[in-house]
Amino acid sequence: MAESWTRRFDDDLAGLDPTDPEARAFAEHLDRMQRDRPSYTVEGYLDGVRDFAESTNRAQGARYWAAVTVVVLLLVGVVWVVANALVSMLGAWV
């Protein structure tokens, strides 16, 4: 990240110490915000999931528990849909 700091973020981070952890975290944040990738591909969706997981790992307190709640609700929804699909398929055979 240090070499890309001087090229990409000179204007945004002028006067900040490149070795400062907070400045490096801000540079990483800028890098995440400026990433341009297609979200309509499988790779784009997986990158979005990875970004969500990384941000959840950085979150603390209420934001962490909100992210955990979102994941649990998504998993419950997937289990419900799969269970209904299985019941429907098995009901068609019987």
Total number of residues shown for the chain: 94
What's the pLDDT score for residue 20? 81
Under 8 Å between Cβ of 1 and 21: no
Half-sphere exposure of 49 (CA within 13 A, CB side): 8
Is residue 83 scored above 60 in pLDDT?
A: yes
pTM: 0.56
Look at the block and give the residue holding tokens 């006067």: 15
What confidence tens digit (pLDDT) does each residue in 13-60 have? 777 777 788 877 887 777 777 777 777 888 877 888 888 888 888 889
Look at the block and give the residue holding tokens 């973020």: 9
Alpha helices (H) in the chain, listed in sequence order: 2-8, 21-34, 42-58, 62-93
* 68 band by pLDDT with thresholds 50, 70 and 90: very high
Region of residue 11 (left: phi > 0; alpha: psi -120 to 50; beta: else): alpha
What's the pLDDT score for residue 2? 45
